[in-house]
Amino acid sequence: LSPPELTGALVDDEIAQAQRQDIELGQLIELKEKGLVLPEDSPLQKYTRLWPQLQMKGSRLVRLPPANSDAASPQVVLPRSLIPKVLSQLHSTPTGGHLGVQKLQGKVKDCFFWLGWFHDVQKWCRECTDYASQKTQGRTPCAPLQTCMVLRAYERVALYVLGPLPETERKNKYILVIGDYFSKWTEAFPLPNQEALTIAKILVEEWVCRFGTPRSIHSDQGRSFESALFRETCQLLNIHKTRTSSYHPQSDGLVEQFNRTLLSMLSLFVEDNQLNWDLLVTYVMMAYCSSVHASTGFTPYKVVFGREMVLPVDIMLDVGAEGTGLSVSEYIMSQTLSIVMEAVKKHQVKAIKTTKTTSDRLNVFYKHTTHKDLKQKN
């Protein structure tokens, strides 16, 4: 299977050429190459605050990361002519996934810069008809939200079987979703059936053998998860098994939210006959795991590996290819993973409080009054 075509790919010198052809960036490059400063009473004065950060890297104009930024490499200063091409690559391809505004802003911020980029990304998503058609509206009222805090990666994972979906040419009809509550790292596996043996085999071979044994597994009350085989598998691995309430999938919010995202992403790229969705799962998972998650403030990939994923657009534009490597000692001293873990914990505490406050404010909860309560009032 070959990767989906990278539409709008740029040739090696197209960025440098487009920068010089841009009216404003061309003047900035000329001033930088001659060692001059910005002229007074010039339209270029809007770059005054950024002037110390703008540097030439080879033939390209880049912006060095600000002192208070956690960015690892310079941002390419993008000319206006290339903005649609880059946003399309980051948003509208299978590896982009048509994800939301915040996730696209996170990907743009890692590699690129131009004046007004923040609002341009919002406008791009707002005008994307495919993204707008898949965006869900409204929420069902419910009782006050109960939250759960997880303090380390792979400690508690969620399982869910999505389907049945249209049967593909490879006889796949279901998707097994496994997600980690802490890092939000999620994997999806196309399946021909939802039998307990099939699910247990995937869980052990594709998750436990790669990431280790979780302390707890949370799932719905599907027959596969409640079977004797699956129960014995959990007992053998010393995994504590919990389940959602009957007919109440909201109590497994991690995978429920992800399922909507996954189906939305797949629907934008499948063929008309819907027989190739199982070939696209790995690509849309790449888009998901390389996007910033709202409840952690990091991409799932960075929480797990301590660095950002190298995306096709990074190779295509040769972004951050020079001067970003660390020696073993430097990597150990940086303590990247421990810093990320602590930041995730703090961000999750804040996100949980915000989610509960918002949920309880928007939802309606009717307290049941008993005869005992009425007697006490009287």
The pLDDT of 266-276, averaged and rounded, is 76
Determine the 3-state secondary structure of 77 from DSSP. Answer: strand
Is the distance from CB of 318 to CB of 112 less than 8 angstroms?
Answer: no
For position 196, what pLDDT does the model report? 94
169 Cβ partners below 8 Å, 6+ apart?
Answer: 275, 276
Q: Which CATH number fits domain 12-135: 3.30.1950.10, 3.40.50.300, 1.10.340.70, 3.40.1390.10?
A: 1.10.340.70
For position 127, what pLDDT does the model report? 80
The pLDDT of 122-142, averaged and rounded, is 67
The Cα–Cα gap between 334 and 336 comes to: 5
Is the distance from CB of 282 to CB of 204 less than 8 angstroms?
Answer: no
Assign domain 156-349 to its CATH superfamily: Ribonuclease H-like superfamily/Ribonuclease H (3.30.420.10)
Of 341, 345, 261, 262, nearest in space to 302 by CA: 341
Place 255 in a pLDDT band, splitting at 50, 70 and 90: confident
- Does the pLDDT value for residue 337 go beyond 60? no
Mean of per-residue pLDDT scores for the chain: 78
Q: Which two tokens stand for residue 321?
A: 């290819």
Neighbouring C-beta atoms of residue 205, cutoff 10 Å: 10
Q: Where in the chain is the domain with CATH 1.10.340.70?
A: 12-135
Q: Where in the chain is the domain with CATH 3.30.420.10?
A: 156-349
Write the single-letter amino acid at 218: H
Write the single-letter amino acid at 92: S
